Structure 1
Amino acid sequence: MSDAIVIFTVGTQGDARPCVALGVALRQAGHRVRIVTSDNFAGMVREAGLEFFALSADFSDLLTNNPETVDKALNPLFLVKHTREKFASMAATWVRETRPACEGAALLIGNGIATQLAKALGEAEGIAFVQAQLQPFTPSRELSPLAFWSKARFPGAVNLGLYQLMKLLAWYTLKPAVNDVIRPQLGLPRYPWYGPYFERDRLRKRVLYGYSRHILPRPTDWPEEARVTGGWFLDQAEQWQPPQALQDFLDEGEKPIYIGFGSMLANNAEAFTATVLEAARLSGRRAVLATGWGGLRGEPGRRDERTYVIDNAPHDWLFPRMALAMHHGGAGTTAAAARAGIPSVFVPFFGDQPFWARRMHELGAAPPALDRVSVTAAQMAQAIGAGLQAPMVQAAAQLGQRIRAEEGGATAVRALAEWGLLPAASGPAAQAAGAKETPARLHAVEALEA
């Protein structure tokens, strides 16, 4: 019986965590869910009650052993050239590793660079496929692509042309992995020189976007196949117990600021940490420092009067207890800070991070982004002070209220059901989910989304 839903995701925690949250929403609706990702996230997947299938794609190792990637990653041409061979090497074992996950599957969901893997498997095995993305990729006359997005407003025709260029750059990056490894191993024909992004089959273009329309409104010229559902949050606040020393630190004074860069790494982590600590001192604020994958240096649990060091903590627990978050600007961290209703200070590393930084600045919930390479402690402190001014605090709080009213996971599940992509749900979870979908509740959700 085909009843499993399989979600493929490759990358950092910012990629994996929302996909696990989407899987939880599907499980709560009564579906069997498998997550295909790297071993880094096996614990997260299993703790969420989902099935884990390993994929050889360790991005922490990729960043650690390729420091030049971090230093030059804001240059999209460098990033494309540098990563295409890495992805092809990673992909060598992907078909063998992932085919068992597809046994008994009714739907494959692809995220990020694993999208083409999921799509090819669906094509080879005759399984339905849909995308789940955290950044906007559907062409629009109203919105420039992430790599070209700026304060400048391009004419609609230019935006459409830039999307075509972005597709070709994406295909240049993934072509060795997809055309030379994945599709031949599955017995599928190679794509033409321009890749898979120009196909006209609308059903193959269906995509769920897991971000809030209050952060980035849905373009009016997007097709029905592109749905903005709201964020997918893996909430752990009710289960997570903080170290007593951290709780004591929080209780001792005013709300501190959070400083952390998640899965990002830095060549000069020691010097960067010293800058961050000096910035916190100059700002006059207490601070919680999160070391993450190594972007900051410190011994978790170490503290003084003004700082406390952690490796990580669930954002849904920690951020509401913070006054402000200074971070890299990944989609997940940006959404978590916005949901908590606190201002952000952005220090982008690469990818979509400058895009979210500029967008939050436009919304009045963040000062202008800082340059990671040249930023000084004084500049960081100044940005922290700007973020804590009343107008920015108020704008962030109002944005948080709107985002907390969304139900991104449930909306995504409903969209998949409307598209006829979900297998029949079963068990107590399905009955409970059905009981919750009363006419009154559905009317309330529809009114909220209007």
Structure 2
Amino acid sequence: MSATALSVSAHTPAANSDTTPGAIVIFTVGTQGDARPCIGLGQALHRAGYPVRIVTSENFAPLVREAGLEFYGISADFSDLLTNNPETVDKALNPWFLVQHTRAKFAEWAATWAQEARPVCKGASLLIGTGIVTQLAKALGEAEGVPFLQAHLQPFTPSRKLSPLSFWSKREFPGWLNMALFSVMKLLAWYTLKPAVNGAIRPQLKLPLFPWYGPFFDKDPERMRVLYGYSRHILPRPDDWPEQVCVTGSWFLDQADEWQPPQSLTDFLAEGEKPIYIGFGSMLANNAEAFTDIVVDAVRLSGRRAVLATGWGGLRRDAGRMDDQIYVIEAAPHDWLFPRMAMAMHHGGAGTTVAAARAGIPSVFVPFFGDQPFWARRMNELGTAPPALDRRTVNAEQMAQAINDALQPQRIQAARELGEKIHAENGTATAVRTLGEWGLLPPLRDSDEATAPAAAPAELELVQVA
């Protein structure tokens, strides 16, 4: 069990005082791609004058604290899950395996969530739940009488014009089938979360249990409200979504101004044409050594200079310069690194996908699991990426060909145009403004309102609802 931890920077307003509104509490559990956007949203709310608490796993404590936000820990660690169970990633493109394998792990983590997180919600003004801890935030909101909102980085609201991520295909399904598939997806999600929610969280909070079909068929307009933190330029908002759904644009946690690159990396970048980036973030697999050999061979065959990022261990090489062609890092902020790259090969997580898109560079996708195949297909449709590679069967020749395909002039141009559109968005500012319009942000005291930045610049256009 992780002990509840707290860090407040010197400029963070103290919560629950007579002069500041109650804290906004954001719940997120998962990989870097799950945590970073939520921290970015928290930063925007903090800049607007609100105290913000992030509830997540201990491994993200430094990231939260560096962002100037309050950190509270709960028992969950995806890095440990992937490190000690690499078969989870190897077989995770099979949805049924993923459901079965994560079901027990989520229940194990959730056994202590209610007692760990309930003190965080005392005196809060709003709880925002994302991903697998959405139902934790919802239950705590019920128990404490605090407003709750769900926020996601992938589309989950049913639509006749959009297939669910788990069943997404190049072919278009008829509307009735899309709606049926969304129902199947909801039932699968509830099967995965039921032991955690009905078996631990709600009984410990003395709340009624959900029925056999779960909470995802609720038609109450207030509870259907959701913020989506992705770009409408990558995935347009379906016009049959209810008006309570807002696509804000992506939420970025930018660190380029604070990050100092090693001098050897700066020297490498200056020595020739822009290199390509290859990295798989938080992904791990049993065959990481062999997969790294394929990546290195592909770089050699392509003739391109490359920066390899080992991340959580998806690639295995010592950091530093391998030779004049390849430089290896553990990680670097995408907003610093990607504008200095010619192309990015990655797993296709929502955060990495939009970071490459914002930098205006093409991508090559090597999906591991989850929503990654969905984003890979979507970017291929937009012309900024070739068809995704199959990580389980890809060889160096196929990877080198995909690199060269991504760097064709038409893909470079498509990526540049998409990057300009995403740069014009400000997803976190739009999210803050929307929360205000929905009446979910408490009023600031006069002095705060006089000094706090505007929730959203006037030129931002809120995504229109149907």
TM (normalized to structure 1)? 0.97
Which of the residues 317, 320, 329 maps onto 2:348? Answer: 329
CA distance in 1 between counterparts of 2:235 and 2:224 reads 20
Residue 445 of structure 1 is matched in structure 2 by: 460
CA distance in 2 between counterparts of 1:12 and 1:310 reads 19
Which amino acid is the alignment partner of residue 461 of structure 2? Answer: E
Write out aligned runs for 1:225-240 (5 A): 225-240=244-259
Structure 1 255/448 Cα, relative in aligned 2: closer, same or farther at 3 Å? farther
Q: Give the superposition deviation at 1:397.
A: 0.4
Residue 259 of structure 1 is matched in structure 2 by: 278
Residue 346 of structure 1 is matched in structure 2 by: 365
Which amino acid is the alignment partner of residue 128 of structure 1? Answer: P
Residue 134 of structure 2 is matched in structure 1 by: 115
CA distance in 1 between counterparts of 2:386 and 2:379 reads 8
CA RMSD of aligned residues (A): 1.4
CA distance in 1 between counterparts of 2:131 and 2:291 reads 29
The answer to whether residue 430 in structure 2 is matched with residue 423 in structure 1 is: no
Kept after mapping to 2: 8 A contact 1:280/1:381: yes
- Residue aligned with 1:275, SS: helix
The answer to whether residue 144 in structure 2 is matched with residue 125 in structure 1 is: yes
Residue 219 of structure 1 is matched in structure 2 by: 238
Kept after mapping to 2: 8 A contact 1:144/1:154: yes
Q: Give the superposition deviation at 1:62.
A: 0.7
Kept after mapping to 1: 8 A contact 2:164/2:185: yes
Q: Deviations over 1:328-355 (max 9, x none)?
A: 0000000100000000000000000000
Q: Give the superposition deviation at 1:278.
A: 0.4
- Residue aligned with 1:204, SS: coil
- Residue aligned with 1:169, SS: helix
Residue 295 of structure 1 is matched in structure 2 by: 314
The answer for unaligned runs of 5 or more in structure 2 is: 1-15
Q: Deviations over 1:261-281 (max 9, x none)?
A: 000001111100000000011
Residue 57 of structure 1 is matched in structure 2 by: 76
Q: Number of paired residues?
A: 446
Write out aligned runs for 1:272-311 (5 A): 272-311=291-330
CA distance in 1 between counterparts of 2:244 and 2:455 reads 26
CA distance in 2 between counterparts of 1:171 and 1:449 reads 31
Residue 181 of structure 2 is matched in structure 1 by: 162
CA distance in 1 between counterparts of 2:413 and 2:246 reads 29
- Residue aligned with 2:234, SS: coil
Which amino acid is the alignment partner of residue 171 of structure 1? Answer: W
Kept after mapping to 1: 8 A contact 2:153/2:230: yes
Residue 400 of structure 1 is matched in structure 2 by: 419
Structure 1 429/335 Cα, relative in aligned 2: closer, same or farther at 3 Å? farther
Structure 1 447/167 Cα, relative in aligned 2: closer, same or farther at 3 Å? closer
Kept after mapping to 1: 8 A contact 2:432/2:455: no
Kept after mapping to 1: 8 A contact 2:48/2:455: no
Structure 1 429/383 Cα, relative in aligned 2: closer, same or farther at 3 Å? farther
Kept after mapping to 2: 8 A contact 1:28/1:429: no
Question: Higher helix fraction: Structure 1 or Structure 2?
Answer: 1
The answer for unaligned runs of 5 or more in structure 1 is: none
Which amino acid is the alignment partner of residue 402 of structure 1? Answer: K
Kept after mapping to 1: 8 A contact 2:122/2:144: no
The answer to whether residue 158 in structure 2 is matched with residue 143 in structure 1 is: no
Q: Give the superposition deviation at 1:446.
A: 2.8
Kept after mapping to 1: 8 A contact 2:248/2:462: no
Kept after mapping to 1: 8 A contact 2:344/2:362: yes
Residue 32 of structure 1 is matched in structure 2 by: 51
Which amino acid is the alignment partner of residue 206 of structure 1? Answer: R
CA distance in 1 between counterparts of 2:26 and 2:84 reads 28
Which of the residues 94, 97, 100 maps onto 1:81? Answer: 100
The answer to whether residue 336 in structure 2 is matched with residue 317 in structure 1 is: yes
